[in-house]
Copies of this chain bind each other. A is one copy, B any other.
Amino acid sequence: MSSRQPTLDEVAELAGVSRGTVSRVLNNHPHVSKKALEAVRAAIDELGYVPSAAARSLATQRRGAVVLAISSDDPALFANQFFAEVIAGVNAVIEESDLELLLVMAATERGRDRLTRILQSRGADGVMLLALRENDPLAKVAEGGGIPVVYGGRPLERAPQHYIDADNRGGAREAAEYLIASGRRAIATITGPQDMHVGVSRYLGFREALALAGLPAHRVVHADFSEAGGAAAMEQLLDEHPDLDAVFVASDAMAASALRVLRERGRRVPEDVAVVGFNDIVTAQHTHPALTTVRQPIEALGREMTRMLLRLINDEKPTPLILPTHLVIRESA
C-alpha cells in the first residue's frame, strides 16, 4: 500500500495538463477537450487517484455529508427495530447519491453538544431529525445550523416546514373501525405519550372512529410506548373497565405486553378481548396469538426523508409528505 495518496497535481503532471483542467474533469465541467479529458482519465486510473474529501470541502464550503440525528432519552428506543428500518431506508437513498451518512444519537447532553458542533462547524449539508419530543432542544440546535432540516414524524408543538410522517391518525381510525365492524362495542385504548405527536394522532384517530359510530371512548389509559408501560396500562384498564371487549394499543411493544397480561388474567384473545397494535414490528408475527396491527412504511419513511433532504440541499422546495398506513389482520382481532 502506498502510504501517501496521489494528489491532483500529480495527476495534472502525468496527464500533461494544468490542475484546473483536472479539476474540471473531476467535476464534469463543460469545455474540456476530448483529448485532455482522456489524458486526465488515464492518469487518474494509473495513479489510483481519489480526491481528498477534506480539501474539496474546504474549498467548496460544503461537506458532502448529511446527518441523521436520533433523539431519545430512552436507551431502549435505540435497540428498536424502528430505527434500524429507518436507517435502512435512509441508506438506500444515500447509497445512490454521493453523500456520506453521519449518525448522531443525541441521547445525552454530550450528544446534543456533539450535534451542535457538527452543525456549527459546517460538518454537514443537511440534517434529518427523528423521534422528537415536545420542545426537544435538538430542534433548536438543528434549525440554528443554517442548513436544511427534515423531520421524521412531526414534533408536537408546530408543523415544521419540512417533514415526513406516517398517517398515524388514519391508521388508528382504520384499526378502531375494524374493531367496530367486527362487532366490538366496549373498546378501550392504550395510548402513547401525549407529548408526542404520534401519540396524540393515534389517540385522535381512535376517538374519531368511535365518535362516528356513536360509541363511548372513555376506556383510556395513557402509556409511554414501552413494554412495561403497556403491561401496567393493560392491568389498569382491566381493573377500571372489566367489561372491555377490545383494545387498540398504540404500539406493538405495548400490545405484546398487553397480550401477556390478558392471558395471565384469564381473558382469551380474540374471543373475549380483541387486540390491535400499531407499527407491525417483527415481534407482532410471533406473539401468541399473532398480532393484528397497523403497518406503517418505516423504511419508506427513511427513504422519503432522505429524498426530501436531498431536494432541499439542491435548493428545491418540497412539500410535507404523509405516508399511508394499513391494517394487517392476523389472529388477535
Q: Is the CB of A123 within 8 A of B100?
A: yes
- A65–B114 Cα distance when bound, in Å, is 13
A118 interfacial by beta-carbon distance below 8 Å: yes
Stretch at the interface among A34-42, A48-56, A171-179: A48-56
Q: Please report which residues of chain A, range 116-151, place their CB below 8 angstroms from some CB of chain B when the two chains form the complex.
A: 117-118, 120-123, 144, 146
Counting CB contacts under 8 A, is A212 at the interface?
A: no
In angstroms, Cα B286 to Cα A253, docked, is: 9
- The answer, among B54, B83, B95, B108, for a CB contact under 8 Å with A95, is B108
A interface residues, how many (CB within 8 angstroms): 60
Q: How far is the CA of A78 from the CA of B88 in the complex (A)?
A: 6
Are A1 and B91 touching (Cβ within 8 A)?
no
The residue in A110, A121, A259 that gathers the most chain B C-beta atoms within 10 A of its C-beta is: A121
Copies of this chain, tallied across the complex: 2
Q: How far is the CB of A108 from chain B (nearest CB, A)?
A: 7
A161 in the interface (beta carbon within 8 A):
no
Contact for A105 among B53, B54, B88, B111, CB less than 8 A: B88
Contacts of A50 in B (CB 8 A): 117, 120-121
In the complex, which residues of chain B have a beta carbon less than 8 angstroms from the beta carbon of A5?
120-122
Q: Tell whether, in the assembled complex, residue A80 and residue B78 are in contact, meaning their CB atoms are under 8 Å apart.
A: no
User: A84: which of B1, B79, B108 is its contact (CB, 8 Å)?
Assistant: B79
Which chain B residues lie closer than 8 Å to A144 at the CB level? 1
Cβ of A267 to closest chain B Cβ, rounded Å = 15
What are the residues of chain B within 8 A of A236 when measuring CB–CB?
none
* 11 CB < 8 A contacts A-B: A52-B122, A53-B122, A55-B58, A79-B81, A79-B88, A91-B105, A91-B107, A95-B108, A101-B104, A102-B102, A287-B288
